[in-house]
Protein backbone atom coordinates (compact mmCIF):
# COMPACT_ATOMS: atom_id res chain seq x y z
CA UNK A 1 0.00 0.00 0.00
CA UNK A 2 0.97 3.63 -0.52
CA UNK A 3 3.08 5.20 2.21
CA UNK A 4 1.23 7.61 4.47
CA UNK A 5 4.37 9.16 5.93
CA UNK A 6 3.47 12.32 7.87
CA UNK A 7 -0.15 12.28 6.68
CA UNK A 8 -2.71 13.29 9.30
CA UNK A 9 -5.71 10.99 9.66
CA UNK A 10 -8.72 11.39 11.94
CA UNK A 11 -10.66 8.21 12.68
CA UNK A 12 -13.77 7.84 14.82
CA UNK A 13 -14.31 4.86 17.10
CA UNK A 14 -10.80 3.40 17.13
CA UNK A 15 -10.82 1.99 20.66
CA UNK A 16 -11.47 -1.57 19.41
CA UNK A 17 -12.50 -3.66 16.43
CA UNK A 18 -12.10 -2.45 12.87
CA UNK A 19 -11.22 1.07 14.00
CA UNK A 20 -8.34 -0.08 16.18
CA UNK A 21 -6.92 -2.39 13.51
CA UNK A 22 -7.21 0.43 10.97
CA UNK A 23 -5.35 2.83 13.27
CA UNK A 24 -2.57 0.28 13.83
CA UNK A 25 -2.05 -0.34 10.13
CA UNK A 26 -2.14 3.38 9.32
CA UNK A 27 0.50 4.03 11.98
CA UNK A 28 2.68 1.31 10.46
CA UNK A 29 2.46 3.18 7.15
CA UNK A 30 3.81 6.33 8.78
CA UNK A 31 0.59 8.24 9.42
CA UNK A 32 -0.11 10.53 12.35
CA UNK A 33 -3.46 9.40 13.75
CA UNK A 34 -6.03 11.39 15.71
CA UNK A 35 -8.49 9.10 17.49
CA UNK A 36 -11.94 10.50 18.24
CA UNK A 37 -14.40 8.60 20.38
CA UNK A 38 -16.22 8.10 23.65
CA UNK A 39 -13.79 6.36 26.00
CA UNK A 40 -10.70 8.30 26.98
CA UNK A 41 -9.17 5.30 28.76
CA UNK A 42 -9.67 2.91 25.84
CA UNK A 43 -8.39 5.32 23.22
CA UNK A 44 -5.38 6.33 25.31
CA UNK A 45 -4.58 2.61 25.64
CA UNK A 46 -4.62 2.30 21.85
CA UNK A 47 -2.36 5.33 21.58
CA UNK A 48 0.13 3.63 23.92
CA UNK A 49 0.16 0.64 21.55
CA UNK A 50 0.61 2.90 18.52
CA UNK A 51 3.59 4.63 20.13
CA UNK A 52 5.31 1.27 20.52
CA UNK A 53 4.48 0.18 16.97
CA UNK A 54 5.44 3.52 15.37
CA UNK A 55 7.71 5.52 17.70
CA UNK A 56 8.11 8.35 15.18
CA UNK A 57 4.38 8.84 14.76
CA UNK A 58 2.22 11.47 16.41
CA UNK A 59 -1.02 10.33 18.03
CA UNK A 60 -3.75 12.21 19.85
CA UNK A 61 -7.15 11.54 21.39
CA UNK A 62 -10.13 13.91 21.05
CA UNK A 63 -13.39 13.22 22.91
CA UNK A 64 -16.41 12.58 20.70
CA UNK A 65 -20.00 11.57 21.50
CA UNK A 66 -21.67 11.10 18.13
CA UNK A 67 -25.13 10.94 19.74
CA UNK A 68 -24.72 14.57 20.82
CA UNK A 69 -24.28 17.10 18.01
CA UNK A 70 -22.78 19.59 20.47
CA UNK A 71 -20.01 17.08 21.20
CA UNK A 72 -19.44 16.67 17.46
CA UNK A 73 -19.00 20.42 17.10
CA UNK A 74 -16.57 20.48 20.02
CA UNK A 75 -14.57 17.61 18.54
CA UNK A 76 -14.24 19.46 15.24
CA UNK A 77 -13.26 22.65 17.06
CA UNK A 78 -10.55 20.86 19.02
CA UNK A 79 -9.10 19.37 15.86
CA UNK A 80 -9.17 22.67 13.97
CA UNK A 81 -7.48 24.39 16.92
CA UNK A 82 -4.49 22.09 16.36
CA UNK A 83 -3.88 23.92 13.05
CA UNK A 84 -2.96 20.66 11.33
CA UNK A 85 -3.68 19.65 7.76
CA UNK A 86 -6.19 16.80 7.49
CA UNK A 87 -5.54 14.31 4.71
CA UNK A 88 -7.98 11.50 5.53
CA UNK A 89 -11.19 11.35 7.57
CA UNK A 90 -12.47 7.88 8.45
CA UNK A 91 -16.03 7.83 9.77
CA UNK A 92 -15.70 4.40 11.35
CA UNK A 93 -17.69 4.49 14.61
CA UNK A 94 -21.16 3.02 14.77
CA UNK A 95 -23.84 1.42 16.92
CA UNK A 96 -26.11 -1.56 16.37
CA UNK A 97 -28.73 -3.04 18.65
CA UNK A 98 -29.22 0.00 20.86
CA UNK A 99 -32.65 1.50 21.40
CA UNK A 100 -33.81 5.01 22.05
CA UNK A 101 -32.99 8.45 20.73
CA UNK A 102 -30.00 10.77 20.61
CA UNK A 103 -29.74 13.91 22.73
CA UNK A 104 -31.28 15.89 19.89
CA UNK A 105 -34.17 13.41 19.54
CA UNK A 106 -33.17 11.37 16.48
CA UNK A 107 -33.44 7.58 16.28
CA UNK A 108 -30.18 6.43 17.82
CA UNK A 109 -28.80 4.44 14.85
CA UNK A 110 -29.57 7.23 12.39
CA UNK A 111 -28.30 9.92 14.77
CA UNK A 112 -24.99 8.20 15.57
CA UNK A 113 -24.18 6.35 12.35
CA UNK A 114 -25.24 9.08 9.92
CA UNK A 115 -26.09 12.46 11.39
CA UNK A 116 -23.11 12.79 13.75
CA UNK A 117 -20.68 11.83 11.01
CA UNK A 118 -22.44 14.10 8.51
CA UNK A 119 -21.88 17.07 10.79
CA UNK A 120 -18.29 16.12 11.60
CA UNK A 121 -17.46 15.73 7.92
CA UNK A 122 -18.84 19.09 6.88
CA UNK A 123 -17.16 20.89 9.76
CA UNK A 124 -13.80 19.43 8.70
CA UNK A 125 -14.34 19.70 4.96
CA UNK A 126 -12.47 22.97 4.46
CA UNK A 127 -9.44 21.44 6.17
CA UNK A 128 -9.63 18.38 3.91
CA UNK A 129 -9.88 20.58 0.82
CA UNK A 130 -6.97 22.77 1.90
CA UNK A 131 -4.79 19.70 2.50
CA UNK A 132 -5.48 18.15 -0.92
CA UNK A 133 -3.70 18.39 -4.24
CA UNK A 134 -4.22 16.92 -7.69
CA UNK A 135 -1.44 14.40 -7.09
CA UNK A 136 -2.45 13.59 -3.50
CA UNK A 137 -6.19 13.94 -2.96
CA UNK A 138 -7.69 14.00 0.51
CA UNK A 139 -10.09 11.18 1.28
CA UNK A 140 -13.32 10.68 3.24
CA UNK A 141 -14.27 7.12 4.15
CA UNK A 142 -17.77 6.32 5.39
CA UNK A 143 -18.23 2.88 6.96
CA UNK A 144 -21.54 1.64 5.61
CA UNK A 145 -22.75 -1.97 5.48
CA UNK A 146 -24.41 -4.61 3.36
CA UNK A 147 -27.14 -4.38 6.01
CA UNK A 148 -28.47 -1.36 4.09
CA UNK A 149 -30.40 -4.03 2.16
CA UNK A 150 -32.73 -4.42 5.14
CA UNK A 151 -33.97 -0.88 4.48
CA UNK A 152 -36.70 -1.46 1.91
CA UNK A 153 -38.63 1.76 2.44
CA UNK A 154 -37.93 5.26 3.71
CA UNK A 155 -39.86 7.01 6.52
CA UNK A 156 -38.70 10.54 7.38
CA UNK A 157 -40.87 10.70 10.50
CA UNK A 158 -39.32 7.53 11.96
CA UNK A 159 -35.88 9.19 11.90
CA UNK A 160 -37.05 11.67 14.53
CA UNK A 161 -38.50 9.11 16.94
CA UNK A 162 -36.99 6.53 19.30
CA UNK A 163 -36.16 3.06 17.96
CA UNK A 164 -39.33 1.15 17.09
CA UNK A 165 -38.39 -2.45 16.22
CA UNK A 166 -37.30 -5.17 18.64
CA UNK A 167 -34.30 -6.36 16.63
CA UNK A 168 -33.29 -2.84 15.47
CA UNK A 169 -32.31 -4.40 12.12
CA UNK A 170 -34.54 -1.98 10.17
CA UNK A 171 -33.14 1.08 11.95
CA UNK A 172 -29.58 -0.11 11.53
CA UNK A 173 -30.22 -0.75 7.84
CA UNK A 174 -31.64 2.75 7.40
CA UNK A 175 -28.57 4.27 9.06
CA UNK A 176 -26.23 2.30 6.78
CA UNK A 177 -28.30 3.22 3.73
CA UNK A 178 -27.90 6.82 4.90
CA UNK A 179 -24.10 6.39 4.86
CA UNK A 180 -24.31 5.29 1.23
CA UNK A 181 -26.67 8.12 0.26
CA UNK A 182 -24.46 10.64 2.06
CA UNK A 183 -21.45 9.40 0.09
CA UNK A 184 -23.43 9.54 -3.16
CA UNK A 185 -24.38 13.20 -2.69
CA UNK A 186 -21.04 14.13 -1.12
CA UNK A 187 -19.33 12.98 -4.30
CA UNK A 188 -21.53 15.41 -6.25
CA UNK A 189 -20.74 18.24 -3.84
CA UNK A 190 -17.00 17.52 -4.14
CA UNK A 191 -16.81 17.78 -7.93
CA UNK A 192 -13.96 20.06 -9.04
CA UNK A 193 -12.14 19.55 -5.75
CA UNK A 194 -9.27 17.23 -4.89
CA UNK A 195 -11.23 15.34 -2.24
CA UNK A 196 -12.43 11.78 -2.81
CA UNK A 197 -15.09 9.92 -0.85
CA UNK A 198 -16.06 6.27 -0.56
CA UNK A 199 -18.68 4.17 1.22
CA UNK A 200 -17.37 0.87 2.58
CA UNK A 201 -18.87 -2.46 3.58
CA UNK A 202 -16.17 -4.15 5.70
CA UNK A 203 -17.95 -7.51 5.72
CA UNK A 204 -19.51 -9.27 8.70
CA UNK A 205 -16.90 -8.69 11.37
CA UNK A 206 -16.64 -9.91 14.96
CA UNK A 207 -16.50 -6.66 16.94
CA UNK A 208 -18.06 -4.99 19.97
CA UNK A 209 -20.82 -3.53 17.78
CA UNK A 210 -22.84 -6.73 18.44
CA UNK A 211 -22.76 -6.31 22.23
CA UNK A 212 -26.26 -4.79 22.49
CA UNK A 213 -27.96 -7.65 20.65
CA UNK A 214 -29.92 -10.37 22.50
CA UNK A 215 -27.87 -13.29 23.80
CA UNK A 216 -29.38 -15.75 21.31
CA UNK A 217 -28.33 -13.54 18.39
CA UNK A 218 -24.82 -13.16 19.81
CA UNK A 219 -24.57 -16.95 20.15
CA UNK A 220 -25.55 -17.28 16.50
CA UNK A 221 -22.86 -14.77 15.55
CA UNK A 222 -20.29 -16.92 17.35
CA UNK A 223 -20.96 -19.85 15.03
CA UNK A 224 -21.47 -17.84 11.85
CA UNK A 225 -18.39 -17.47 9.60
CA UNK A 226 -17.32 -13.89 10.14
CA UNK A 227 -14.17 -11.87 9.63
CA UNK A 228 -11.65 -10.78 12.22
CA UNK A 229 -11.28 -7.02 12.80
CA UNK A 230 -7.94 -7.18 10.95
CA UNK A 231 -9.65 -8.74 7.92
CA UNK A 232 -12.52 -6.27 8.23
CA UNK A 233 -10.13 -3.32 7.98
CA UNK A 234 -8.84 -4.39 4.57
CA UNK A 235 -11.20 -2.34 2.39
CA UNK A 236 -10.87 0.70 4.66
CA UNK A 237 -7.09 0.60 4.25
CA UNK A 238 -7.44 0.18 0.49
CA UNK A 239 -9.70 3.23 0.24
CA UNK A 240 -7.34 5.23 2.45
CA UNK A 241 -4.38 4.54 0.19
CA UNK A 242 -4.68 3.00 -3.26
CA UNK A 243 -8.34 3.18 -4.28
CA UNK A 244 -8.40 5.20 -7.54
CA UNK A 245 -10.38 8.36 -8.22
CA UNK A 246 -12.59 6.38 -10.61
CA UNK A 247 -14.29 4.90 -7.53
CA UNK A 248 -15.19 8.32 -6.11
CA UNK A 249 -18.63 8.17 -4.49
CA UNK A 250 -18.92 4.41 -4.87
CA UNK A 251 -19.84 1.61 -2.46
CA UNK A 252 -17.00 -0.86 -2.04
CA UNK A 253 -16.55 -4.22 -0.36
CA UNK A 254 -13.61 -6.62 -0.52
CA UNK A 255 -11.66 -3.82 -2.21
CA UNK A 256 -13.93 -3.63 -5.23
CA UNK A 257 -17.09 -1.82 -6.28
CA UNK A 258 -20.44 -3.30 -5.31
CA UNK A 259 -23.87 -2.17 -6.45
CA UNK A 260 -26.12 -1.08 -3.58
CA UNK A 261 -29.89 -1.41 -3.62
CA UNK A 262 -32.06 0.82 -5.77
CA UNK A 263 -32.61 3.09 -2.76
CA UNK A 264 -28.84 3.34 -2.37
CA UNK A 265 -28.61 4.67 -5.93
CA UNK A 266 -31.47 7.18 -5.60
CA UNK A 267 -29.90 10.60 -6.26
CA UNK A 268 -33.13 12.42 -5.46
CA UNK A 269 -33.34 10.74 -2.05
CA UNK A 270 -29.65 11.45 -1.45
CA UNK A 271 -30.16 15.15 -2.15
CA UNK A 272 -33.16 15.34 0.15
CA UNK A 273 -31.27 13.54 2.93
CA UNK A 274 -28.44 16.06 2.45
CA UNK A 275 -30.76 19.04 2.76
CA UNK A 276 -32.60 17.66 5.77
CA UNK A 277 -29.30 16.76 7.43
CA UNK A 278 -28.11 20.34 6.94
CA UNK A 279 -31.28 21.55 8.63
CA UNK A 280 -31.14 19.01 11.46
CA UNK A 281 -27.49 19.76 12.25
CA UNK A 282 -27.97 23.51 12.10
CA UNK A 283 -25.74 24.03 9.06
CA UNK A 284 -27.21 26.80 6.97
CA UNK A 285 -25.27 26.20 3.76
CA UNK A 286 -26.68 24.42 0.74
CA UNK A 287 -23.48 22.68 -0.29
CA UNK A 288 -20.14 21.53 1.10
Q: What is the pLDDT of residues 31-73, one digit of tens each?
A: 999 999 999 999 999 999 999 999 999 999 999 999 999 999 9
Q: For residue 33, is it within any domain?
A: yes
What kind and span of H or E run contains 16?
none
Q: For residue 287, is it within any domain?
A: no
Sheet holding 59-63, edge to edge: 59-63, 32-37, 8-12, 88-91, 138-143, 195-201, 251-253, 256-257
Q: For residue 1, is it within any domain?
A: no
Count Cβ atoms below 10 Å from residue 141 Cβ, excluding itself: 27
Q: Is 150 a catalytic residue?
A: no
pLDDT score at 285? 56
Q: For residue 141, is it within any domain?
A: yes
Q: For residue 58, is it within any domain?
A: yes
**Average of per-residue pLDDT across 228-236:** 89
Please report, for the domain that includes residue 140, its CATH number: 3.40.50.720
Q: For residue 3, is it within any domain?
A: no
pLDDT score at 288? 45
User: Residue 191: phi, psi to the nearest 5?
Assistant: -60, 140
User: Residue 267 is part of which domain span?
Assistant: 8-281
Q: For residue 2, is it within any domain?
A: no
Say yes or no to pLDDT of 286 above 70: no
Percentage above 70 pLDDT, the chain: 91
Report the number of distinct structural domains present in the chain.
1
Count Cβ atoms below 10 Å from residue 194 Cβ, excluding itself: 17
- The β-bridge relationship of strands 59-63 and 195-201 is unpaired
- What is the chain's Cα-based Rg? 17
Q: For residue 156, is it within any domain?
A: yes
Which residue has better confidence, 256 or 224? Answer: 256
Least confident window among 21-30, 224-233, 242-251? 224-233
Which residues are CB-neighbours of 280 under 8 A, at least 6 positions away? 104, 106, 115
Residue of 61, 96, 150, 172 with catalytic role: 172
Q: What is the pLDDT of residues 117-145, one digit of tens each?
A: 999 999 999 999 999 999 999 999 999 99
Q: What is the pTM of this model?
A: 0.92
64, 69, 71, 75: CA torsion to nearest 10: 70
Amino acid sequence: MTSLQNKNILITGASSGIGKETAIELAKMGANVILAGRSSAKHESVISELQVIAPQGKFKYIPLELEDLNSVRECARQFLDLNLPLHILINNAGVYGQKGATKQGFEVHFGVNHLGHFLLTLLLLDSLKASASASTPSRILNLASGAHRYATKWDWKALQKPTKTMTTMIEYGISKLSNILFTLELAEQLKNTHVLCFAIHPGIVKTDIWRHLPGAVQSFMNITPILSPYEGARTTLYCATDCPASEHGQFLTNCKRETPTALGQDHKLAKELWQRSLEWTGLNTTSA
